[in-house]
Amino acid sequence: RHKFWETQPVGQFKDVGDSSLPDGPIEPPTPLSEVKQEPYNLPNLYEWITCDINSDGVCTEVYNLLTDNYVEDDENMFRFNYSKEFLRWALRPPGYFKSWHIGVRVKSSKKLVAFITGAPARIRVRDEIVLMAEVNFLCVHKKLRSKRLAPVMIKEVTRRVHLENIWQAAYTAGVVLPTPMSTCQYWHRSLNPKKLIDVGFSRLGARMTMSRTIKLFKLPDSTATPGFRKMELHDVPAVTRLLRNYLSQFIVAPDFDENDVEHWLLPKEDVVDSFLVESPETHEITDFCSFYTLPSSILGNPNYSTLKVAYSYYNVSTKTPLLQLMNDVLIVAKQKDFDVFNALDVMQNETFVKELKFGPGDGKLHYYLYNYRIKHAVRSSELGLVLL
């Protein structure tokens, strides 16, 4: 059934429920001298390239490939439209490897037709901190699908990750592969219900008119929490402490240090937004929330071409109730003209989605680890990890 995945060190469907297998690495590392030194073979018309994502030209080529060929919803109405600045942010975290930004070109025309990336991360699984590659942006041009190019791309990124002496990876996908360590539900909070209905992202509910729907999703003009403000550079140490302490309760979570927090959470216009609550009395940082910006192209609509979408990222509440904190972040997302705010049911997100009028989406997101077994699947609320 899975001719490729059956050959890989991932949990196999036949082993689901087998408690005799231990948690942890499936295969031991091999000596670096035994890692294949040459790239895997591609069909003859194609060649590997390492993408210099700093180059504006290369970044534009990657952007165009993804804009036209990356992930769509099940009815092909929307397609992810990661911005160039977002791609640069996602692909250049502290300690990144340029060799993990892998493209495939047509030899004759030099056209970019496929892409895959890795980015290094320390991820804690229970009480073990594991150095991993976060693999993302796997994309094969629509005209080259179903030719078994994806397995070659995955083997090549694996080889280049191994060359850096890293033996585990984490990735998410909308499709079921052998085998999810966790499965999450997408939730959506309408901010601009009229546009969402016009483009087919959502539907008018039964016995609902447009004006009642608009009223239902109305939000206050300004945030409610005293001391709520944008995160700044000098907040990095306090946010790191708050976040590390919060994430320690989850079974799988990133192990963020101050450099990681500066990279992943310091606001970057049209890429990532972060807010915190500074107590007006003690000036203590008590709460934190964030979202990233990932628009979707609207396919074949005469009136609209893009949907502005915010995705819930990391949120921490210690003093402000999470419900109030998230209502404030919805208000700022609305002020910034987002059409919809998305969240997965990870961490404590189930505690606010219904009350704040999110509705379940038609999409699921499956989380995977490569070469690391977790015997019992993790509940989504036990996941403290958000991948882009």
Between residue 199 and residue 218, which ones bind ligand EN5 under the rule CB under 6 A?
201-202
Residues 239 and 268: their CA atoms lie apart, in Å, by 16
Q: What token pair was written down for 330?
A: 């919805």
184 or 196: CB nearest ligand NHW: 184
Q: Which does 77 bind (CB under 5 to 8 A by kind): ligand EN5, ligand NHW, none?
A: ligand EN5
Q: Which residues contact 314 (CB under 8 A, 6 or more apart)?
A: 243, 247, 265, 288, 289, 290, 386
The arrangement of strands across the sheet holding 78-80 comes to 78-80, 296-298, 306-307
Active site residue 191: no
Q: Is 363 exposed, middle or buried (0-12, 13-18, 19+ CB in 10 A)?
A: middle
Residues 152 and 158: their CA atoms lie apart, in Å, by 10
Candidate segments 28-36, 85-93, 117-125, 186-194, binder of ligand EN5 by CB under 6 A: 186-194
Shortest spacing between CB 161 and ligand NHW, in angstroms = 4
Between residue 337 and residue 376, which ones bind ligand NHW under the rule CB under 6 A?
370-371
310 binds ligand NHW, rule: CB under 6 A: no
Q: Rg for the chain (alpha carbons), in Å?
A: 21
Q: Are strands 340-344 and 309-312 parallel, antiparallel or unpaired?
A: parallel
42 or 58: CB nearest ligand NHW: 42
**Residue from 97, 156, 168, 264 in contact with ligand NHW (CB under 6 A):** 168
Residues 310 and 303: their CA atoms lie apart, in Å, by 21
**Residue from 23, 56, 232, 362 in contact with ligand EN5 (CB under 6 A):** 362
**Residue from 26, 104, 112, 149 in contact with ligand NHW (CB under 6 A):** 149
201 or 352: CB nearest ligand EN5: 201
219 or 231: CB nearest ligand EN5: 219
Could you tell me if 196 and 340 are in contact, meaning their C-beta atoms sit under 8 angstroms apart? yes
Angle, CA of 60, 65 and 66, to the nearest 5°:
100
Strands (E), 71-127: 78-80, 101-106, 112-125
Between residue 73 and residue 102, which ones bind ligand EN5 under the rule CB under 6 A?
73-75, 77
Residues 83 and 351: their CA atoms lie apart, in Å, by 31
Catalytic residue numbers read 388
Judged by the rule CB under 6 A, the positions of this chain that interact with ligand EN5 are: 71, 73-75, 77, 136, 172-174, 186, 188, 190, 201-202, 359, 361-363, 365, 387-388
Judged by the rule CB under 6 A, the positions of this chain that interact with ligand NHW are: 2-5, 69-71, 133, 135-140, 145-151, 154, 157-158, 161, 167-169, 171-173, 175, 177, 370-371
